[in-house]
A and B are shown apart, each in its own frame.
Chain A
Amino acid sequence: MISAADTAFILAAAGLVLLMTPGLALFYAGMVRSKNVLGTMMQSFFMIALISIEWVYLGYSMSFGPDVGGVIGDLSWFALSGVTTAPSADYATTIPQIVFMIYQCMFAIITPALITGAFAERVRFVPFLVFAFLWAVFVYNPVCHWVWGKGGWLGSMGVMDFAGGLVVHVTCGAAAFASILVIGPRRGFGKRSFIPHSLPLTFIGTGLLWFGWFGFNGGSALAADEVAATAFVATHLAGMAGMLMWVIVEWVVLRRATTLGAMSGAIAGLATITPAAGFVGPNSAIIIGCIAGLVCFGAVNLKVKLKLDDSLDVVGIHGVGGAVGTLCLGIFASTAVNPGGVDGLLAGNMAQLWKQAFGVVVVGGYTLIVSWILLKVVHITLGLRVSEEAEVGGVDYAEHSENAYNS
């Protein structure tokens, strides 16, 4: 039975999640040098075209189509065959299935876009598109099915992920780590400063991401109900707590409160609450946000010490945030908050934490290995990395024949 309220809410939420991708493009673009602004934005923005079409023909059916052995959906929904305005029997039963399809499409779009922050400023556009397509097919779609698809093996064994801590953030973080290993650091890494060219752009992007995150997490209730309300509130509180904590730590360690730190902390809090958003109350959300600010700050600093050139900190913020949030679900979740959810460690259920940890290891490990193979294949056959001349001159002109700023 279709609910007009639920349908309206999820359509609005889908629009919000889509807005996160151009928001991400701005967020990333502000942090690169002025010669790489357009290339960075394009790698995020073009996912809207590439992944939407992949989703219609392959992705939706592979992720949510009829289960094959708990591992993958079959291709019987190819080209949205049978996906109509009638509700699905298995997913979001109060909204047209086509609404559920397009809502999930937005998640599939932003996930590969998130990875690009790791190898910003040094990758060729077309080989990247080939990688992104293969990654959607071989990583995103299967993992999405394992966790969220009916019959998916991780979901069946009780691994929980409210809005994509595993499916979105752990996958993009693990793929980002693989990409750093395959592609290598930017020329001059460790010797020269790669200072952000426009933090105000990053600021606009952060605002759009935060705004969109309400659709990302709130909409994952798949209905305009109490769970959506819980998730919306938890999302906001974790974001603010992440910002608060990052700035405090920065002030204690460095005696300065930076704007990029405030923005990074907010994104860390939002990413970390994502898996748990619909399962925890406001106070737990604040604690999770604080943990995010602390742990992600540490992870980002560790990168500097390990000399890994994760250009825009995808591993440190999204990967670590997604993993920590997935574990926090196993600690802080409570059926007193969401009767349809689970109890975590604090509610006396130790087993859930182990399940969550298992989910992180499996999804992180699978993604790391498969991403590394895909990156290697594309790198060897097509060449993922720009030439030295293009890297020094900037990818904007080399890859797109454009410049962001003309003086």
Chain B
Amino acid sequence: MKKIQAIVKPFKLDDVKDALTEIGVKGMTISEVKGYGRQKGHTEIYRGAEYVVDFIPKVKIEIVVSADMVDLVVDTIRDTANTGKIGDGKIFVIPIERIVRVRTGEEDHDAI
């Protein structure tokens, strides 16, 4: 079991969600986050003065899948969220030790 945590551009969220649903991903958690990587922030203009805004809005998608799904999910996110421009985001794959479904008490693969 792995957690796939992807940071993507906000405008790509709908495309990524649709593509993941198509390959059989059942659920996901998303958060609106801010941050920067190599692209740094952006500049805003107020009364002629330019200000650098360090943290720019991104969306964080978290999905937990069984190990055999990992490559497909990662490839799908990568293909869908890619614009070719700097600031497209990153995908992290993180091991998961245990999963419990709150309603039924099912665990691990049954709970995904």
A residues with a Cβ closer than 8 A to B are: 193-196, 250, 253-254, 256, 258, 260-261, 264, 297, 300-301, 304, 313
Contact = CB atoms under 8 A, between A and B. Distances in A.
B53 A304 contact: no
Interface string B37-75: 000000011111111110000000000000000000000
B48 A297 contact: yes
A253 B46 contact: no
Contacts, number: 35
A135 B72 CA distance: 72
Where chain B touches its partner, the secondary structure class is strand
Contacts of A254: 45, 48, 50
A196 B51 CA distance: 11
A250 B51 CA distance: 15
29 contacts: A193-B44, A193-B51, A193-B53, A195-B46, A195-B51, A196-B46, A250-B45, A250-B48, A253-B48, A254-B45, A254-B50, A256-B45, A258-B45, A258-B46, A258-B47, A260-B46, A260-B47, A261-B45, A261-B48, A264-B47, A297-B48, A300-B47, A300-B48, A300-B49, A301-B48, A301-B49, A304-B48, A304-B49, A313-B47
A166 B49 CA distance: 28
Interface residues of B, number: 10
Contacts of B50: 254
Nearest to A193: B51
Interface of B: 44-53
Nearest to A297: B48
Nearest to A265: B47
Contacts of A256: 45
A297 B47 CA distance: 8
A317 B77 CA distance: 50
A261 B52 contact: no
A313 B48 CA distance: 12
A357 to B, nearest CB: 27
A196 B49 CA distance: 12
Given A193-B51, A300-B49, 14 more contacts: A193-B52, A193-B53, A194-B51, A195-B46, A195-B53, A196-B46, A253-B48, A256-B45, A258-B46, A261-B45, A264-B47, A297-B48, A300-B48, A304-B48
Contacts of B45: 250, 254, 256, 258, 261
A253 B48 CA distance: 9
A297 B50 CA distance: 14
Contacts of A195: 44, 46, 51, 53
Contacts of B47: 258, 260-261, 264, 300, 313
Nearest to A194: B51
Contacts of B53: 193, 195
Contacts of A300: 47-49
Contacts of A264: 47
A258 B44 CA distance: 10
Nearest to B50: A254
Nearest to A196: B46
Nearest to B41: A193
Contacts of B46: 195-196, 258, 260
Nearest to A305: B49
A-B complex: 5 closest residue pairs judged by Cβ atoms: A193-B51, A304-B49, A301-B48, A300-B47, A260-B46
Nearest to B53: A193
Contacts of A250: 45, 48
A295 to B, nearest CB: 13
A342 B49 CA distance: 39
A196 to B, nearest CB: 6
Nearest to B52: A193
Contacts of B52: 193
A304 B49 CA distance: 7
B43 to A, nearest CB: 9
